[in-house]
Amino acid sequence: MSGITPEVRAAHWAKTRSLTFTVLFLWFVFSFGVHWFANELNTITFIGFPLGFYMAAQGSLIAFVVIIFWLAHAQNKIDEEFGVAESE
């Protein structure tokens, strides 16, 4: 990343920072938000289980894995856009 201009570096960091804040927000929602509202979510059933229980036991973990893959894909697109992607 040493061969790029400061303007390109700043734009790359701005997009990366925005992506990071989005991922942190989603992580917060699935880590704490779902559990804080578990009683309200338990009024809804999913695959025969109360939704609050399902999200605490399985749904949050599935969401975390999806978020990780989405983050990697989105960051690679940002890196390619600014010409700082890793070569394969």
Name the least confident of 8-12, 27-31, 51-55, 71-75. 51-55
Predicted local distance difference test score (pLDDT) of residue 7: 93
Number of domains in the chain: 1
27 lies in some domain? yes
76 lies in some domain? yes
Segment 32-61, tens digit of pLDDT: 888 888 888 889 987 888 888 887 778 889
Predicted local distance difference test score (pLDDT) of residue 34: 81
46 lies in some domain? yes
3 lies in some domain? no
Phi-psi region of 47 (alpha: psi -120 to 50; beta: other; left: phi over 0): left
11 lies in some domain? no
Please give the Cα distance from 67 to 56 (Å, whole number): 16
Q: Could you tell me the residue range of the domain that residue 67 belongs to?
A: 22-81
Calculate Rg over the CA atoms of the chain.
Answer: 18
Token digits of residue 57: 């036991």
